[in-house]
Amino acid sequence: MNSVFNPLMKWFLTRFYDLLYHSMAWIYDIVSASVSLGHWNDWVRVVLPEIKGLRVLELGFGPGHLLLAIGNTGVRVVGLDESMQMCRIANRRLHKKRNSPYQNIIVRGRAESLPFLEEGLDCIVATFPSDYILDLRTVTECFRVLKPGGQVVILVGVKIGGSRWYRRFLRQIYQITHQSVEEIEAHTNWITPIKRVGFQVDSIKRQYLEDELSIVLLVKDETPFSS
């Protein structure tokens, strides 16, 4: 039964998440809170200590919560997302207050073709991204726009802790959607191509209450190498 159920569930969730990020973007916060026991935005903010430099790009910023948190630290942050609906939602959030310091920071586009100059950014961040983040076009573009020594900070997955029934249920969901730490760490074939682009690859863990979050760091070498 599992061999049939898991592919069907994955297909359904993939289609649902696509709708959630586009035509159903208005319920994104509700759904993300539901699948994280209300901790989604707290999980996302665990990347803040890893963000270095003053010029930061967030890929796939969604409703804009992390954009706002980064901007509040005094960093100059730009957000890029391909979803028109998410761009609208994030733009409203960032400009909600009077005299908002956020101007012209929302860009609609794709990570595979970044509309930025070479070596103009200190850091790139993405939280719970889809497969686009490991597309070699994305990785190459990130390398191009980062300054030497700059890094990409990717919050790739979460290990739901605890033994209560709803936490066990969520662990199953995250395994099916390949956003659990165990699922990600089981597949390491993506590391070698990224290193060939010129990145050093490292990983760290961050704890939030009962949950363990996995962060991958891609640090730009000054001299890339190839096979």
Single-letter amino acid, residue 201 = V
Supply the CATH classification number for the domain 2-220.
Answer: 3.40.50.150
In this structure, the number of other CB atoms found within 10 A of the CB of residue 170 comes to 20
Phi/psi region, residue 25 (left: phi>0; alpha: psi -120 to 50; beta: rest), is alpha
Residue 225 has what pLDDT? 43
- Cβ atoms of 215 and 126 within 8 Å: the answer is no
pTM: predicted TM-score of the whole model, two decimal places: 0.84
Query: How far apart (Å, rounded) are the C-alpha atoms in residues 39 and 46?
Result: 11
End-to-end CA distance of the chain: 43
Q: b/e for 98-133, b at 16 or more Cβ within 10 A?
A: eeeebeebbbeebbeebebeeeebbbbbbbbbbeeb
pLDDT of amino acid 65: 92
Q: So what's the pLDDT on residue 5? A: 45
Per-residue pLDDT reduced to its tens digit, 90-102: 988 887 754 555 5
pLDDT at 72: 85
Give me the tens of pLDDT residue by residue for the chain, a chain 227 residues long: 344 445 665 666 666 666 666 777 778 788 888 777 778 899 999 999 999 998 999 999 999 999 989 988 888 899 999 999 989 999 888 877 545 555 558 899 999 999 999 999 999 999 988 888 889 999 999 999 999 999 999 998 888 877 787 777 777 767 666 555 555 555 567 788 888 888 999 989 999 888 888 899 999 986 544 43
User: Domain locations in the chain?
Assistant: 2-220
Residue type, 83: S
pLDDT tens for 154-195 read 998 888 877 787 777 777 767 666 555 555 555 567 788 888
Sign of CA dihedral 187, 131, 112, 93: negative
